[in-house]
Structure 1
Amino acid sequence: MKYSVLAVALLISSASFAQSKHLFSGSDTLGGVMTDAIIAAGLDQSIGYVGGGSSVGEKALVNGEIGIAPMSRPMKPEAIAQAQAAGVTPVEHVIALDGVSVFVNGTNGTPGLDLNTLARIFSCEITSWAQIPGSGKSGAINAFRRDDLSGTTDTFKTLVGVKKFGACVTIVHETADIAEKTATDADAIGYAGLSGKNEHNRELAISATGTAYVAPTAGTIRNGTYPLSRKLFVYEASGARTPNKAEAQLLEQLLDRSFLDPIVQDHDFVTLD
């Protein structure tokens, strides 16, 4: 195949642009927020978001590959220690709030679950909807979870008390996958951030053992009464390494509440107040 001089020049130019555009990684949960923020800030020619999971962003920040890392869980103490050993102090910025939601199909009548029952479902001690009061179902429970790179998985395991997922639980990689599974599979259950809600699934109210069921709303997430409430973060490298120019420009926008709050709300997360 022959290419004109102009076509070759355009190919070289496109390749050069792709190499010059800075890519950074982090929480998949925050993927939509980051992408929209980049576009709204007019920075999409210089920086792009590739997600990959909170653990991926955390590792890249520690290794000096990126200067900012969006995360849906706090940075782990061992990762902070590794960064500090290299002369880098990670600075934590809380940018929004979220509730790890437990989704079922819209036809599922289960009114709510307590944390102990939820843990038993995801460890495969409970495998049938017939064991769940109020579900109106008798089939096998089809449980879905995010992968181990996900900050949402870390948060879910910690808050629910899941020590090890059972073999009956199927791994999917994105919030959109949880939304799709719980929308199309009448026997499905899965966890994700609030943005996993669609017209064909629904969130369950959750109870800490011995307390009333609480639904995930802006109010219950802000006051912490929803048992699976969490903060969403952006971590910034400081000290021996700092964000590059594009990252610093984006971070300035992310910390501007008047800029970010409308984007946060568009993606069904909760603003700080």
Structure 2
Amino acid sequence: MKTKVIGALALAGSMVFNPAIATETVSVVGSNSVTPIMEVLGETYAQSNDVTVEVQGPGSSAGVRAAQDGSSDLGMSSRELKDSEKSDNLKEVVIARDGIAVVAHPSNPVNDLSKEEVTKIYKGEITNWKEVGGEDKPIVVATRDTASGTRGAFEDIMDLKMEVNGQSVSAISQRAQVASGNGQLKTIVANNPFAIGYISLGSVDESVNALSIDNNEPSVEAIQAGEYGVQRPFLVLYKEGRPSQAALDFLAWIESSEAQKIVADKGYIAVK
């Protein structure tokens, strides 16, 4: 797993940690979806503060655990916490909101699906594009791994949970291809004209086509207006008493108007 170290000195186009300049290190671990904006925020903050920000993106579940056990100053989650994960000394701060875009290959003529159709596709009940107005071709379903906050949020929003022996488990078809991050899932869809997937709205580019859901296009404006419902919070978590003052100062800056403008400029929804 790659760790991005964002320090206070830039040399030859890359960020380099210089112990003579950066006197504090802030560790941030968690969501693969939150990682890109956290790296930008950390890099910006480090340019004017004597701080190194280390960002790792193994997934939301890992971020929750890192915050809970204090192995990281800050954790990142791209889903709401489960009741079993909450505790009085685990603090949650919403730093942004993000849409989840359902994406297909740009050559696919299907541009809109209903929420019900998306759910049936992911359950394996709709298996051919012709059933939703497309070509007579099998649908190749791509999903995220079970540690992903994006997957957790997507399952909750799209009613992709089922009860087995009294336990709530994923209803996503076991035939779905599993990707370890937004980038890998986007690559699967970009390379297959008959694939479907879901990624962070902030990760959408020209390599994929973000589909409308129930005739509502995925956009910041549609989310703010309450029209596009496939959305989730970006959370930063910390254990009370664990983070250094440098980490708390960084988090306070993330909530500032300066940092929230960066959030909005990168295609996410600012919360301040």
TM-score higher than 0.5 here? Answer: yes
Q: Structure 1: any 5+ residue segments left out of the alignment? A: 1-13, 208-212
Give the Å deviation of 1:266.
Answer: 4.2
Task: Tell me: CA distance 1:102–1:168, structure 2 relative to 1, closer, same or farther (3 Å).
Answer: same
In the alignment, what sits opposite 1:3? none
In the alignment, what sits opposite 1:219? 221
Letter in 2 for 1:146: R
Give the Å deviation of 1:79.
Answer: 1.0
The aligned runs of 1:8-157 (5 Å cut-off) are 21-42=25-46, 46-81=52-87, 84=88, 88=89, 90-133=90-133, 135=134, 137-157=135-155
Give the Å deviation of 1:147.
Answer: 0.9
Q: Percent of aligned pairs with the same residue? A: 23
Give the Å deviation of 1:24.
Answer: 2.7
Q: List per-residue Cα deviations over 1:59-91 (Å, max 9, x = no partner).
A: 11111212322211122221113xx3xxx2x22
The separation in 1 between residues aligned to 2:257 and 2:38, in whole angstroms, is 14
Q: Secondary structure at the match of 2:232?
A: strand
Q: Secondary structure at the match of 1:52?
A: coil
The separation in 2 between residues aligned to 1:257 and 1:69, in whole angstroms, is 22
In the alignment, what sits opposite 2:271? 272
Higher-strand-fraction structure: 2
Q: Secondary structure at the match of 1:185?
A: coil
**Which of 223, 228, 231 in structure 1 is aligned with 2:230?**
228
Q: Secondary structure at the match of 2:261?
A: helix
Give the Å deviation of 1:119.
Answer: 1.1
Give the Å deviation of 1:44.
Answer: 8.6
Letter in 1 for 2:182: T
C-alpha root-mean-square deviation of aligned residues, in Å? 2.2
Q: Secondary structure at the match of 1:232?
A: strand
Give the Å deviation of 1:160.
Answer: 0.3
The separation in 2 between residues aligned to 1:129 and 1:185, in whole angstroms, is 13
Task: Tell me: CA distance 1:267–1:177, structure 2 relative to 1, closer, same or farther (3 Å).
Answer: farther
| Number of residue pairs aligned between Structure 1 and Structure 2 | 241
Q: Secondary structure at the match of 2:86?
A: helix
Q: List per-residue Cα deviations over 1:187-244 (Å, max 9, x = no partner).
A: 110001112312131111112xxxxx21111121113221212222212332xx2312
In the alignment, what sits opposite 1:196? 203
In the alignment, what sits opposite 2:11? none
Structure index of larger Rg: 1
Give the Å deviation of 1:58.
Answer: 0.5
The separation in 1 between residues aligned to 2:50 and 2:188, in whole angstroms, is 32
Superposition TM-score, scaled by structure 2 size:
0.81
The separation in 1 between residues aligned to 2:70 and 2:222, in whole angstroms, is 37
The separation in 2 between residues aligned to 1:36 and 1:44, in whole angstroms, is 16
Higher-helix-fraction structure: 1
Q: Secondary structure at the match of 1:109?
A: coil
Give the Å deviation of 1:93.
Answer: 1.7
Q: Secondary structure at the match of 1:36?
A: helix
The separation in 1 between residues aligned to 2:252 and 2:235, in whole angstroms, is 14
Give the Å deviation of 1:126.
Answer: 1.4
Q: Secondary structure at the match of 1:143?
A: strand
Letter in 2 for 1:220: A
Task: Tell me: CA distance 1:272–1:22, structure 2 relative to 1, closer, same or farther (3 Å).
Answer: closer
Letter in 1 for 2:176: V
- Tell me whether 1:169 sits opposite 2:167 in the alignment: no
The separation in 2 between residues aligned to 1:23 and 1:235, in whole angstroms, is 12
Q: Structure 2: any 5+ residue segments left out of the alignment? A: 1-16, 162-170
The separation in 1 between residues aligned to 2:70 and 2:39, in whole angstroms, is 22
**After alignment, is 56-65 or 21-30 more displaced?**
21-30
